[in-house]
Amino acid sequence: MTPQSIERLMADIEAEDPLDVGALSLDGEAARHLMACHFCELDRQLSEHGLDATARLDVMAAIAAHTMAENLVLHVQRLRAADSNEAFRAWMRRYGMQ
């Protein structure tokens, strides 16, 4: 696992689901790099604490799932705060949540 390999995989994912960096002073490439380096550092620390590859993968999956849940909450809050509720309703329909 290297930051570069993770960044490439993230870029592949973002081809289908681009990051919305909006008004942030951080661009998508910088965000990918920052998070890829963070994941590699976390993997190194977990390894140093004696976790094997399977245990480290479990921790990384839990972190990813938590982050996805947090992202869902933030996205729903943003859609609800929009001037039009239609964007929120369209998003809910897109994911089968009438």
Residues 26-85 have pLDDT tens digits of: 787 888 888 899 999 999 999 999 999 999 999 999 999 999 899 888 888 877 777 667
Q: What is the DSSP letter of 49?
A: T
Tokens 């976390």: give the residue. 42
Q: Judge contact between 87 and 79, C-beta under 8 A.
A: yes
CA dihedral 34, 38, 40, 45 (to 10 degrees): 160
Does the model's pTM come out above 0.85? no
Length of the chain: 98
